[in-house]
Amino acid sequence: MDHEDKVPLLEGGASPKPTSCCAPNGPVYRWAILLVVSLICFGSYFAYDEIEPIEDPLMESFGYNKTNGGTAKFGLLYSVYSFPNTVLVFFGGLLGDKIGLRAAGFVFVILVFFGSVLVALGPQLAYLHLLTPANAYILTAAGRTLFGSGSESLNVIQTSMTSRWFAGTSSLAFAMGLVLSMSRLGDFLALAVSANIAQLTGSFRWVLWVGCVMCLLSMMSVLVYGFLDRLSEPYFPNRKVNPEENEINFKAILHFDPRFWLVAIVCMCYYGGIFPFVTVCSDFLQQNYNFHPTVAGYYSSAITLASMVLSPLLGKFLDVVGRRPFFVLLGSFVVIPAHVILALNLPYPIIPIVAIGLSFSLVPSALWPSIPMIVKEKELATAFGTMAAIQNTGLAIINYVAGRIGSLKGHTVQQNYHWVMWFFVMMDSVGLLFAILLVIVDRAKGGKLTSVVKKGVQPVASSSLNEVPPPINYDS
Across 55-59, 100-104, 106-110, 249-253, least confident range: 249-253
- What torsion, rounded to 10 degrees, do the Cα atoms 256, 262, 264, 267 define? -160
Nearest residue to 305 via CA among 343, 369, 354: 354
Cα separation, 366 vs 359, in Å, equals: 11
- 6 close to 19: Cβ distance less than 8 angstroms: yes
- β-strand partners of 376: 461
CB neighbour class for 77 (10 Å; exposed up to 12, middle 13-18, buried from 19): buried
Task: Please give the mean pLDDT across all residues of the chain.
Answer: 84
Rounded to a whole number of angstroms, the CA Rg of the chain reads 22
In the chain, the amino acid numbered 229 is: D
- Residue 11 has what DSSP assignment? T
What is the reported pLDDT for 472? 34
What proportion of the chain, given as a percentage, has pLDDT over 90?
Answer: 44
- What residue ranges define each of the domains in the chain, with the CATH number in brackets? 27-236+255-450 (1.20.1250.20)
- 210 close to 197: Cβ distance less than 8 angstroms: yes
317 to 216, 313, 432: CA distances (angstroms):
34, 6, 22
- 119 close to 138: Cβ distance less than 8 angstroms: no
The Cα angle at residue 165 between residues 459 and 88, in degrees rounded to 5: 90
Cα separation, 386 vs 378, in Å, equals: 14
Can you tell me whether residue 376 is helix, strand or coil?
strand
Half-sphere exposure of 403 (CA within 13 A, CB side): 20
Nearest residue to 338 via CA among 287, 402, 281, 405: 281
Can you tell me whether residue 344 is helix, strand or coil?
coil
Give the model confidence (pLDDT) of 310-355 as tens digits: 889 998 899 889 899 999 999 999 999 999 999 999 988 989 998 9
Model confidence at 142, in pLDDT bands (50, 70, 90)?
very high
Top-confidence residue, 450 or 167: 450
Q: Is the confidence at residue 300, as pLDDT, over 60?
A: yes
- 91 close to 157: Cβ distance less than 8 angstroms: no
Cα separation, 149 vs 95, in Å, equals: 13
What is the reported pLDDT for 465? 34
Element (H, E) at 259: helix 258-289
Can you tell me whether residue 26 is helix, strand or coil?
coil
Nearest residue to 314 via CA among 173, 447, 475, 163: 173
Cα separation, 375 vs 460, in Å, equals: 7
- 293 close to 282: Cβ distance less than 8 angstroms: yes
What is the reported pLDDT for 164? 85
Cα separation, 158 vs 154, in Å, equals: 6
For range 389-404, the mean pLDDT: 85
Across 316-320, 357-361, 442-446, 459-463, least confident range: 459-463
What proportion of the chain, given as a percentage, has pLDDT over 70?
Answer: 87
What is the reported pLDDT for 305? 78
Q: Is the confidence at residue 457, as pLDDT, over 70?
A: no
Top-confidence residue, 474 or 16: 16
Give the model confidence (pLDDT) of 226-260 as tens digits: 999 988 887 776 666 665 555 566 677 888 999 99
Q: Is the confidence at residue 474, as pLDDT, over 70?
A: no
Model confidence at 467, in pLDDT bands (50, 70, 90)?
very low
Q: Spell out the alpha helix ranges (H) of 290-408.
A: 293-321, 324-343, 350-367, 371-374, 380-406
What is the reported pLDDT for 423? 95
Cα separation, 145 vs 128, in Å, equals: 23
What is the reported pLDDT for 87? 85
Q: Which residues of 387-398 are buried (b: 16+ CB within 10 A; e: fewer)?
A: bbbbbbbbbbbb
Per DSSP, the residues of 160-219 read HHHHHHHTTSTTHHHHHHHHHHHHHHHHHHHHHHHHHHHHHHT-THHHHHHHHHHHHHHH
Cα 197 → chain centroid? 25
- 177 close to 410: Cβ distance less than 8 angstroms: no
> Phi and psi dihedrals of 456, rounded to 5?
85, 0
Question: Helices 258-289 and 413-444: crossing angle, nearest 10°?
Answer: 160
Give the model confidence (pLDDT) of 402-456 as tens digits: 888 888 877 888 888 999 999 999 999 999 999 999 999 999 999 989 988 665 4
CB neighbour class for 161 (10 Å; exposed up to 12, middle 13-18, buried from 19): buried
226 to 11, 26, 97, 198: CA distances (angstroms):
17, 18, 15, 35
